[in-house]
Amino acid sequence: MTIHQLRIYEIDPTKRVAFHARFRDHAVRIMESYGFRIVAMWESDTDGRLEFIYLLEWPDQETLERQWKRFMADESWSRIKNEVRAAIGGEPVLNVTSRILNIVDYRPNRMSS
């Protein structure tokens, strides 16, 4: 059964532009090479907290775990993260929250199962 993963990154507002450039120009491309299916992306600036939120769709928990491990071990991703950190004086992501979302059986038919 398909599962969804909600990812919430709290972003340093002073590093917002660099974060979006890194995610847009590099992370998305590398994630897609590992079979990540990004369903939607949002930005939220609420109560002085800047967040980047995105939703992933996975065929199952095993695939999610395997592909995240592969992505996090990717040499080009590690290099890009280090280059961006060096260029902007630190990591733009302050905190990461990840949640697995399991579809309930009484949902509207608008979402995939």
pTM over 0.85: yes
Mean pLDDT of 76-103: 96
Q: What is the pLDDT of residues 16-72, one digit of tens each?
A: 999 999 999 999 999 999 999 999 999 999 998 999 999 999 999 999 999 999 999
Examine residue 58 and state whether it is found in any structural domain, yes or no: yes
Residue 94: C-alpha distances to residues 16, 56, 101 (Å):
11, 20, 23
Examine residue 110 and state whether it is found in any structural domain, yes or no: no
Query: How many domains does one find in the chain?
Result: 1
CATH of residue 30's domain is 3.30.70.100
pLDDT at 74: 98
Q: Which domain holds residue 97?
A: 3-101
Nearest alpha-carbon partner for 113 in 59, 54, 34, 61: 59
Q: Are 2 and 112 in contact (CB under 8 A)?
A: yes
- On the question of pLDDT at 79 being above 60, the answer is yes
Examine residue 106 and state whether it is found in any structural domain, yes or no: no
pLDDT at 106: 83
Examine residue 54 and state whether it is found in any structural domain, yes or no: yes
Examine residue 9 and state whether it is found in any structural domain, yes or no: yes
